[in-house]
Amino acid sequence: MKFFFKVLLPLVLIIVGGVAFYAYTQYTEFQQFTLAEDVEVFEIKKGSNIRTVSKELESKNILKPAFLFLFLAKFDKKKINIKAGEYKLEKGMTPEAILSLFIKGKTLQYQTQIPEGGQFKGIIAIIKADKNLKQTLSDNDYKNIMSKLDTKYKQHQPEGWFFPDTFSYPRGTTDLQFLQRSHNAMLKALDKEWQDRTKYKGIKTPYDALILASIIEKETGHPDDRGKVARVFINRLKKGMLLQTDPTVIYGMGDKYKGNIRKKDLKQDTPFNTYTRKGLTPTPIATPSAASIKAAFNPAEGDILYFVAKGNGKSYFSKTYSEHKKAVIKYLLGGKASRYKGGK
């Protein structure tokens, strides 16, 4: 026993102390380690735990040994809840920073844009071509997309119901989830304006406002004109006048439109021809921007009833038909009154 206390115990303590010191220095060095270069994509698959992630980091020569990363995670039990997804590990990151990234779930984000002024068929094409979105919808699903969304507008046509913006999302997001998010954004934008609206004849529901916003979107060549364009249409609705806007006719023509609208097209009656039918079109004709939605609820003041493109992106607005006729001759007909074929 005396031999143990005099010889073996000090030896054991030296060995244990040496091991502890070695472990401490190894762990300290591990904590101070930083990535030498970016790791563009490191994926944590669904169902993975901290042990499998530690081994994955080691096998890819990103962080090793695995047991030290595992120890780092388990040192504070609150840190074990890592989230699945793709991550970008940046040069200079420490093990602690990497662990924090996994815990916060700051996954690699991809972006897809829904453009302003486009049609739903164009949105479908964008989504189908996006390799970062998980494709789950069939052509028939797209035809009945509103019924698949969480919305009170399930019976509506999809045109105009998806907010134009650049949306960020992690890989694995489905096409339906993407559309739901865009639709929710449109609902939010409409609701925000609807709550503080001024009532106008012909605009009885948020959907009416969405339709008007889509027409404003297609008729506006310059951002500063949106409020005036909105006022023209609201004044016309109030007076029971035809809206007489070419983009609605073009939308109603569908694939028959070849880039040029003719006088006979303006006379050909369709549900979207605002030269032959009063009021708003049955559905939106495009995806309206936030600015056009705002203009539909906040038009400029005035008695204007007409406008014509000036050729510089802006429009000339008139209160009377005679004034409008002069503007058409000036800006569209090169000043030649004889070429004017319009009528009151």
Q: Looking at residue 43, what is its pLDDT?
A: 95
pTM: 0.84
- For residues 211-233, one letter each, b for 16 or more C-beta atoms within 10 angstroms of the residue's C-beta and e for the rest, the string is bbbbbbbbbbeeeebbbbbbbbb
- Percent above pLDDT 90 for the chain: 74
Q: Looking at residue 224, what is its pLDDT?
A: 93
Q: How far apart are CA 274 and CA 283, in angstroms?
A: 12
Checking if the pLDDT of 8 tops 90, the result is no
Give residue-wise pLDDT tens across range 20-34: 544 556 667 777 889
Mean pLDDT score, 77-103: 88
State which H helix or E strand residue 44 sits in.
strand 39-44
Residue 287's identity, in one-letter code, is T
Sign of the Cα torsion 101, 105, 111, 115 reads negative
Mean pLDDT score, 215-235: 96
Coil, helix or strand for 173? coil
Q: How far apart are CA 291 and CA 213, in angstroms?
A: 9
3-state helix, strand, coil in the chain (%, to 5): 50, 10, 40
CATH superfamily of the domain spanning 31-107: Endolytic murein transglycosylase (3.30.1490.480)
- CA angle centred on 342, ends 339 and 344, rounded to 5°: 145
- For residues 78-103, one letter each, b for 16 or more C-beta atoms within 10 angstroms of the residue's C-beta and e for the rest, the string is ebeebbbbbbebeeebbbeebbebbb
Residue 10's identity, in one-letter code, is P
Beta strands 306-309; 166-170: pairing state: unpaired
Q: Looking at residue 16, what is its pLDDT?
A: 55
| Token pair belonging to 185 | 């954004």
The residue extents of the domains of the chain are 31-107, 109-193, 197-339
Give residue-wise pLDDT tens across range 250-299: 999 999 998 899 989 999 999 999 999 999 999 999 999 999 999 999 99
- CA angle centred on 283, ends 116 and 168, rounded to 5°: 35
32: left (phi over 0), alpha (psi -120 to 50) or beta: alpha
| Token pair belonging to 135 | 């494709």
Number of H helices, E strands in the chain: 15, 6
Q: Which of 272, 301, 265 is nearest to 286 (CA)?
A: 272
